[in-house]
């Protein structure tokens, strides 16, 4: 079992009305575990586990050690309480967390198109800094609702200059043109997108339509799965044991199965890493992930059990 570490808040400040930056150091004053661009840290809170991506403008956190961890946390007023807890932390406060983990790594030496939406910019900043330091060509596009809602705007402009293009939803002349960006992608350019589900799905759909290979499109969903109006309970049967579990609204298949003593392999719990993908033996899934293509969802053979639910009364899963 991976042992958690103690992180102590070194500093905190508001970046926007809704986004707070938190800088942590090791609780005992020792060096922290290193990380690579795109990595996140899993915080162990009373409200449950919460993952936040590391921000590194300097590409100075060597994989073998770091002096501090920096995060930007957006307050989710209708969320499960994790962001409210993080916004309440003050310098000197301590929390438990796991060492950095990366489900969103850069392809070494490959030119990159970086696309960020809202608070999804945090891992993308680290990627841009690493690419700049390595001398690898990249394009950095960052979209937010308004100028006031854009976290790290001045820092990004200072660090990346003309390599960063900023887009604001309330200013049509700055609109993010995904069609043009992907049409201009070089044959060896990799595409990285982080932000809301709609942005990720739009990039994936456009890339597929343009014939861009799926292994050149990388993504990370920056919001946790949310329930939908009309969600109802359904049953999950495990093929191996015949056990049947009821999954109520507001809880995931993973939540219910683990509570019932089933050992599962998973990570992000947002529907973007694919680690919890499970074969469907019977039933119809209600797909809510960003991993599967539209054709894979229509085929109905697999599902991501961290976020997806059921359209049928029962699912029989290969577990």
Q: What is the CATH number of the domain that holds 159?
A: 3.40.50.80
Residue pointed to by tokens 């926007």 = 16
Residue of 253, 241, 242 lying closest to 308 (CA atoms): 253
Assess contact for 146 and 170: CB atoms under 8 A.
yes
Domain stop point among 161, 186, 221: 221
Q: What is the CATH number of the domain that holds 29?
A: 2.40.30.10
CA atoms within 13 A of residue 67's CA, in its CB half-sphere:
5
Angle at 209 between CA 308 and CA 205, to 5 degrees: 25
Number of domains in the chain: 3
Q: What share of the chain is helix, strand, coil (3-state, %, to 5)?
A: 25, 30, 45
pLDDT reported for residue 1: 57
Looking at the fold, whether 192 and 146 belong to one and the same domain comes out as yes
Residue 173, domain member (yes or no): yes
Looking at the fold, whether 80 and 119 belong to one and the same domain comes out as no
Residue partners of 218: CB distance under 8 A and separation at least 6: 104, 105, 107, 190, 191, 192, 193
Looking at the fold, whether 74 and 142 belong to one and the same domain comes out as no
Residue 48, domain member (yes or no): yes
Looking at the fold, whether 146 and 216 belong to one and the same domain comes out as yes
Which domain range does residue 291 map to? 234-317
CA distance 105 to 177: 25
Domain stop point among 221, 245, 264: 221
Q: What is the CATH number of the domain that holds 267?
A: 3.10.20.30
- Residue 8 bridge partners (DSSP): 25, 94
Assess contact for 87 and 45: CB atoms under 8 A.
no
Looking at the fold, whether 242 and 306 belong to one and the same domain comes out as yes
Looking at the fold, whether 15 and 84 belong to one and the same domain comes out as yes
**Residue ranges, the chain, pLDDT below 70:** 1, 29, 60-64, 79-80, 222-227
Looking at the fold, whether 141 and 204 belong to one and the same domain comes out as yes
3-state secondary structure of 316: strand
CA distance 150 to 89: 22
Looking at the fold, whether 75 and 155 belong to one and the same domain comes out as no
Looking at the fold, whether 146 and 240 belong to one and the same domain comes out as no
Q: What is the pLDDT of residues 99-150, one digit of tens each?
A: 999 989 999 999 999 999 999 999 999 999 999 999 999 999 999 999 999 9
Looking at the fold, whether 162 and 209 belong to one and the same domain comes out as yes
Residue 104, domain member (yes or no): no
Looking at the fold, whether 116 and 194 belong to one and the same domain comes out as yes
Domain stop point among 69, 97, 125: 97
Residue of 119, 124, 131, 96 lying closest to 5 (CA atoms): 96
Assess contact for 291 and 272: CB atoms under 8 A.
yes
Residue of 260, 311, 253 lying closest to 282 (CA atoms): 311
Residue 309, domain member (yes or no): yes
Residue 301, domain member (yes or no): yes
Residue partners of 123: CB distance under 8 A and separation at least 6: 37, 38, 39, 40, 53, 54, 104, 194, 220
Q: Read off the tokens for 176.
A: 């993010």
pLDDT reported for residue 227: 62
Q: Read off the tokens for 156.
A: 């990004």
CA distance 143 to 121: 9
Residue 70, domain member (yes or no): yes
Residue 227, domain member (yes or no): no
Residue 229, domain member (yes or no): no
Looking at the fold, whether 271 and 293 belong to one and the same domain comes out as yes
């Amino acid at each position: 079992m991976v042992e958690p570490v103690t992180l102590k808040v070194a500093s905190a400040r508001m970046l926007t009305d809704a986004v707070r930056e938190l800088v942590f150091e090791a609780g005992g004053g020792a060096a922290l575990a290193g990380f690579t661009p795109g990595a996140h840290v899993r915080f162990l809170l009373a409200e449950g586990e919460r993952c936040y991506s590391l921000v590194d403008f300097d590409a100075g956190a060597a994989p073998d050690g770091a002096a501090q961890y920096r995060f930007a946390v957006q307050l989710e007023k209708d969320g499960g309480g994790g962001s409210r807890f993080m916004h309440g932390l003050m310098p000197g406060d301590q929390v438990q967390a796991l060492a950095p983990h990366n489900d969103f790594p850069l392809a070494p030496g490959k030119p990159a198109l970086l696309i960020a939406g809202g608070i999804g910019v945090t891992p993308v900043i680290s990627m841009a800094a690493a690419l700049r330091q390595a001398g690898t060509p990249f394009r950095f596009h960052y979209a937010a609702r308004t100028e006031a809602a854009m976290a790290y705007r001045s820092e990004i402009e200072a660090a990346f200059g003309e390599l960063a293009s900023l887009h604001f939803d309330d200013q049509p002349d700055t609109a993010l043109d995904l069609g043009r960006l992907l049409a201009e992608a070089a044959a060896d350019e990799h595409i990285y997108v982080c932000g809301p589900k709609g942005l990720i799905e739009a990039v994936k759909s456009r890339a597929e339509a343009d014939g861009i290979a799926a292994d050149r499109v990388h993504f990370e969903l920056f919001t946790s799965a949310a329930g939908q109006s009309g969600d109802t309970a359904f049953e999950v049967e495990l093929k191996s044991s015949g056990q049947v579990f009821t999954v109520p609204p507001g809880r995931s298949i993973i939540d219910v199965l683990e509570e019932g003593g089933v050992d599962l392999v998973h990570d992000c719990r947002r529907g973007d890493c694919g680690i919890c993908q499970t074969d469907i033996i019977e039933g119809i899934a209600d797909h809510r992930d960003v991993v599967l293509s539209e054709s894979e969802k229509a085929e109905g053979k697999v599902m991501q059990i961290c976020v997806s639910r059921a359209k049928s009364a029962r699912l029989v899963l290969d577990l």
